[in-house]
Structure 1
Amino acid sequence: MKDSIKNLEWRYAVKKFDSEKTLSNEKIERLKKAFNLTATSYGLQPIRMVVLQNKEMQGKLVASSYGQQQVFQASHVLIICIERVVDKDFILEYFNRVKNIRKTSESIINPFEDALVSSFSKKDFKEVKDWATNQAYLALGNLLTVCAFEEIDSCPMEGFVPSAYDELLELEEFGLSSVLVLPVGYRAQDDMFAEMKKVRRPLKDSIIDII
């Protein structure tokens, strides 16, 4: 049985990937499913993930990643995106899924549905964008944990130019904006950071127990 804490201790933000190693389709499918199973506010899932495995495109993205070579070296690059529009139609689509999958009656669903539609109609673009971006961070945390458990190396990145990614990957056609990047693969044997001890606050300084 795997030890979740040992696996979390094993993971680190990879600075150099082994570009000769590729993740199996099975591993990638697990990451896709983990992303899709991530908890999101109201269950609305205002996020989507691009799975990139194309060395030519990965190479083009390095310049828009402040020169971080992990984007090119990695087996795959996961780009977490948010929906540009979360409107009435988007919300109703979610509730239709609830009805179809759970067979929940409209008498139970409709009040919640109406409340959400009303609430989001009063939010401006920035409010919705900030809310959706928070959901993207939930997905990133989930992916990092699953990567550790599956012994997949990763390097979470905020340091990139979203507008450049959006243009190169033609994300506007999908109604998406990129917000986070996660190269995944296997660490290089000569990545000096792999053997470095983790630097964390003592547990007593990061946890407050209330009994």
Structure 2
Amino acid sequence: MNPISPTDLLDALTWRYATKKFDPTKTIASETWSALEESLILTPSSYGLQPWKFLVVTDPELKQQLQPLSWNQAQVADCSHYVVFTIKKNLTAADVDRFVARTAEVRGVPVESIAGYRGMMVSDVVHGARSFNVNEWATRQTYIALGNFMTSAALLGIDTCPMEGIEPVKYDKLLNLSEAGYATVVACAAGYRAEDDKYAELAKVRFAKSEVVEVR
């Protein structure tokens, strides 16, 4: 792998902003979008359990239906791709076993060889103290995916806007998520900024490094 330069990274992160107005005539190319989907898949998670599913909405009619459930924000309808980040609710031992089976398949090892790891995950996430707030734990994992997605998009020159101003329960109903055992957490619009989005030129407001980074 050839790493990008520190300058390129900071340039991309400085260029990025929460896009308020997308150009509805511009669509993300399939090759670029495929890479962004892979960035979601490659997101790290606690234990590697990946307690999520990412719904990619490109259908104009469905985006229009989601807009009034999103404080009527125009980004939902005008973006190229709209990603709904969901959690797998109430993880069970079966969910752990699915991950263990996948691990054995990908790494070419017997399931039995991972029995100890499986036991640790079940005793923590399914039966341990974490089980009492497992959906909150899964939600935190999903926000890792959101951050990874937005940074990856910036590096590819794609604009994004994280969307917490949504009605998750109504999203779940419209997208038929509850029946499948999933729940909406947050969403993110992706596409290309409109030329007249005034927020694109505003300076970023961040606290000084000395106030937020402490080296010991």
TM bucket normalised to smaller: over 0.9
Q: Which residue of 1 aligns with 2:116?
A: 111
1:172 positional shift = 2.4
Q: Which residue of 1 aligns with 2:191?
A: 185
Deviation string, structure 1 residues 174-208 (Cα, Å, up to 9, x no partner): 32111010010000000000000100011121111
Identity of aligned residues (%): 36
Deviation string, structure 1 residues 9-34 (Cα, Å, up to 9, x no partner): 00000000000101111121111100
Deviation string, structure 1 residues 48-86 (Cα, Å, up to 9, x no partner): 100000111111111110111100110110001000231
1:32 aligns with 2:37: yes
Q: Return closer, same or farther for 1:12/1:64 CA change in 2, 3 Å cut-off.
A: same
Q: TM-score, normalised by structure 1?
A: 0.94
- AA aligned to 2:36 is L
Pick from 168, 178, 185 the counterpart of residue 174 of structure 2: 168
Matches within 5 A, 1:20-59: 20-59=25-64
Matches within 5 A, 1:91-102: 91-102=96-107
Deviation string, structure 1 residues 69-114 (Cα, Å, up to 9, x no partner): 1001101100010002310111011111111211335564111211
Secondary structure, aligned partner of 1:146:
helix
Q: Which residue of 2 aligns with 1:82?
A: 87
1:139 aligns with 2:145: yes
- What is the Cα-based RMSD across aligned positions, in Å? 1.6
Q: Return closer, same or farther for 1:209/1:177 CA change in 2, 3 Å cut-off.
A: same
Secondary structure, aligned partner of 2:207:
coil
The number of aligned residues is 210
1:124 positional shift = 7.5
Q: Which residue of 1 aligns with 2:67?
A: 62
Secondary structure, aligned partner of 1:59:
helix
Gaps of 5+ in 2: none
1:167 positional shift = 1.1
- AA aligned to 1:174 is A
Q: Return closer, same or farther for 1:24/1:173 CA change in 2, 3 Å cut-off.
A: farther
- AA aligned to 2:195 is Q
Task: Tell me if structure 1 keeps the 8 A contact 2:67–2:74.
Answer: yes
Q: In structure 1, how many angstroms separate the alpha carbons of the residues matched to 2:157 and 2:146? A: 16
Secondary structure, aligned partner of 2:119:
helix
Secondary structure, aligned partner of 2:155:
helix
Secondary structure, aligned partner of 1:156:
strand
Larger deviation: 99-108 or 35-44? 99-108
Q: Return closer, same or farther for 1:126/1:80 CA change in 2, 3 Å cut-off.
A: farther
Q: In structure 2, how many angstroms separate the alpha carbons of the residues matched to 1:165 and 1:83? A: 15
Q: In structure 2, how many angstroms separate the alpha carbons of the residues matched to 1:85 and 1:193? A: 39
1:73 aligns with 2:78: yes
